Structure formats: C-alpha cells, structure tokens
C-alpha cells in the first residue's frame, strides 16, 4: 500500500523534541512512512546538516507557524497550558490540521474546547505522550478497550514521586535527602512542587477520566494531595503491616458520581501496582469484559515520550482521518473527599500511660470506626516517656474519621497531631 506523504511541523526542540528528531533519523521512519519535516520552530539553533535536509523551514518563534501552512500535522512540544502552545494548537485545529502533543497541562485544562474544535470534523488531536510516556494507555482506552465499559482506572502516574517513595524505604532515608538525589539525577526540577504535590498526576488523571468515562473533567474538581509530608517512619510501619505507600490517581464512577482523587495511600504488597518501583509508572484499568488490565513502563524521559509522539504521527500517516460523529458528553457530579468510604492507616504519638488505647477506641466507637490491626512502639522524648501507636481500620466514612481525629488530637495524652494515610483495597 502506497502511503501519502505526511508533512510535519515541530514546535519545540527540548528534551522530547530532540528525542523525536533523533528517533526519526535513527530508525529511518521518514523512509518507511514517508514522513517529511517541513518546519521546526525552536529558540535553539538547529543545524540543517544534522537533519539531513535543506528544505526545512526554521523559525525561532513558534508563532510564525500560524502563517505557515505547508504541513499536515503540528507536533507541539513546547508545554504550558496557555500562551504560544495554546495559540498554535488552536490555530492548527481551526485550519483542519491534525495535532500531536505531549502537553498534558494544555490537554487537561482545555479538554472541552479541544473536543469542540474536532467534533464532526476530519482532523484530530492525539496526545499519547501526555500520559505515562512509554505506556500506550491512550490507545488502550481509545482502541483496545473501546468495546468495554470502563469501571475504574487508577495508577502511579508520576515517576518522580514514585522514585522518592521507593528510595526512602529502600535506603532508609528521609524525604529531603531522596528529593535532593532525584534532583541530582534529573528526575525532579529545582522546584519539584509540580511532581511532589500531585499536580502532574492530577493533569494526567483528568485526561484519563475524560477518556474513560466520556466526560469533560474539570481539573478543579480533582481532590489532590502530594507526598511532601510523608514521613519515613510511616513507610517503615506500612511495610511492616504488609503495605507500600504509593501516590495514586484514582478515577471511578460510583452511583452516578465521579470519584477523582489524587493522594498517597497504602497498597497491599500483593497488588501489582505496589510492585511498580523507581521512576516507572503503572496503570490498572478495570472493565466489564477484560476485568483487570495492568500496564507498566517508563513514564517520562526523552526516548519513551518521543516514542509515544512518533506513534501518534505514524497513526496519522497510515490511516486517513474519517469524519468523527458528534458524541454526547456524559454529565456527572463529583464526589467530595469527605464522602469517601475506605480504610485508614493512623499513627498516634501519645504519653505512655494507662487509658490511652481506651480513649482512642472510645472516639472510634462514637464515630462508627472499628480497628483492624494495631502496633505499639515505645519512644522516649526529652521531656517524658512516649508511645507510638499504629492502627489500621476497617472501612468507614472519611467524614466520620475526620470527626474522630479532631477529638482525639485534643485529648490530653496526645502529644503530636495524628498522622493518617488512606488505604486502598483493590480486591
């Protein structure tokens, strides 16, 4: 089958953009799929000789692509949810051009408008590289599982946070030390808040939720907690209890309400997702006919992300975009985190004296909370003899747990605010 020549314009030649160009050159994909780079927009100077072509238009300002029309696909790799990236993507779609992007911030924030720009038209926007780099999760949802009803999707969507949690436990080191290590390796930025505060995960979860449930997911509706306050002590105790702590994004529709949460939680050692360590991502999709599907791979980096970008480009090159029928978007209400029903890990710091356990359990009883397991550890402070009590609970309402903890934290034998981490059971 003869393939039509596919002309691409690349905006942004940073880590991912360089990877895309390298992959095209290295694997002779230009020849196999007749892909031609007609324009590159980058603030970095590009040598024509390095690209093997003298016919490429070079722009130092991506905005000049608005007046450039000699391309079929815009490959947007600049990043950011506003500014020039938004401007050139929206312009390309309005012109009827196809778009490939790795920009999770743009896709998650402007999901509704991007859909509107392509509804009932022959052009599309593809964004496999925006979620979990080397895992083809977008294709899984759009193609492989399109015949299934998605019941739940959850996973580790940020490699930096996973690296930190993994290495804190494995090296018995505090958060700050491992964060510094992640920065030295290039896994974390100088300002790591985007990763460690769960923002990156929430962007990816918004995209997955929108696809899985055919909704317009609002980023603001996602409950987000990061790992900044996770203590090594809790990783050790969780491990002793048979759990690992993972930063998860979780999405599910239950009783016509959307559950869309990002938070660190305890996951049983036997769960596949708990075995995903280091910088790797892992995603589980539960559906009606395929039951539980598990995907693992590198979530970031030049080569995995570039691979996803090229996969989308090749998709466009081998199949003609057919006019997409307009689809009705599902409207769902969001679930408040206080309405969550699940179990908890709790670490109490108390004075070592009689009546402590009964005082805690009394507040549990008042709020319909029952204990599942308990560990008691001795600890000595400079001022008085203290005890550490670690408890896991059976499922309960989060609202009830917050009421109980408020009362417990005010008891006269409690010397430090109680640490709590949610437990996720995927049985």
Return the active site residues: 204
Q: Which residues contact 269 (CB under 8 A, 6 or more apart)?
A: 242, 243, 244
Q: What is the DSSP string of 88-157?
A: HHHHHHHTT-EEEE--HHHHHHTHHHHHHHHTTSS--EE-GGGSSTTS-HHHIIIIITTTSPEEEEEEE-
Closest to 112 in 3D by CA, of 228, 202, 11, 209: 209
Are 83 and 23 in contact by the 8 Å Cβ rule? The answer is no
Give dist(CA 192, CA 350) in Å, integer: 33
Judged by DSSP in three states, 212 sits in helix
CA atoms within 13 Å, Cβ hemisphere of 163: 24
Structure tokens at 22: 């390298």
Burial zone of 141 (CB within 10 Å; 0-12 exposed, 13-18 middle, 19+ buried): buried
Are 389 and 357 in contact by the 8 Å Cβ rule? The answer is yes
Q: Which residues contact 66 (CB under 8 A, 6 or more apart)?
A: 87, 88, 91
């Amino acid at each position: 089958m003869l393939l039509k020549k596919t002309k691409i314009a690349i905006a942004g030649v940073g880590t991912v953009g360089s990877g895309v160009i390298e992959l095209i050159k290295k694997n002779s994909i230009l020849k196999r799929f007749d892909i031609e780079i007609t324009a590159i927009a980058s603030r970095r100077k590009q040598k024509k000789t390095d690209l093997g072509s003298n016919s490429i238009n070079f722009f130092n300002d991506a905005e000049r692509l608005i007046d450039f029309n000699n391309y079929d696909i815009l490959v947007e790799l600049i990043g950011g949810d506003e500014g020039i990236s938004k401007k050139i993507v929206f312009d390309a779609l309005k012109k009827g051009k196809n778009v490939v992007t790795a920009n999770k911030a743009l896709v998650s924030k402007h999901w509704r408008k991007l859909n509107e720009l392509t509804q009932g038209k022959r052009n599309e926007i593809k964004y496999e590289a925006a979620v979990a780099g080397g895992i083809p999760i977008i294709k899984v949802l759009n193609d492989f599982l399109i015949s299934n009803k998605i019941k739940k999707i959850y996973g580790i969507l940020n490699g930096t946070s996973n690296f930190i949690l993994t290495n804190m436990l494995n090296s018995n080191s505090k958060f700050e030390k491992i964060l510094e290590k992640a920065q030295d390796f290039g896994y974390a930025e100088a300002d790591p808040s985007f990763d460690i505060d769960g923002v990156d995960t929430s962007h990816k979860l918004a995209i997955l939720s929108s696809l899985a449930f055919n909704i317009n997911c609002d980023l603001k509706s996602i409950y987000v907690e990061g790992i900044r306050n996770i203590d090594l002590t809790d990783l050790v105790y969780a491990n002793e209890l048979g759990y690992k702590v993972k930063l998860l994004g979780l999405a599910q529709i239950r009783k016509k309400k959307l559950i869309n949460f990002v938070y660190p939680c305890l996951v049983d050692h036997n769960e596949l997702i708990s075995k995903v360590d280091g910088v790797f991502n892992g995603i589980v999709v539960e559906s009606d006919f395929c039951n539980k599907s598990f995907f693992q791979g590198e979530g970031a980096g030049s080569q995995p992300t570039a691979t996803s970008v090229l996969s989308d480009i090749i998709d466009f090159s081998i199949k003609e975009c057919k006019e997409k029928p307009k689809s009705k978007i599902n409207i769902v209400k969001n679930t408040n985190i206080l309405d969550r029903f699940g179990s908890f890990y709790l670490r109490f710091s108390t004075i070592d004296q009689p009546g402590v356990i009964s005082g805690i359990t009394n507040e549990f009883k008042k709020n319909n909370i029952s204990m599942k397991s308990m560990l008691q550890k001795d600890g000595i402070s400079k001022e008085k003899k203290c005890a550490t009590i670690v408890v896991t609970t059976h499922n309960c309402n989060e609202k009830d747990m917050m009421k109980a903890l408020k009362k417990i934290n005010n008891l006269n034998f409690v010397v430090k605010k109680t640490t709590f981490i949610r437990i996720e059971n995927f049985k």
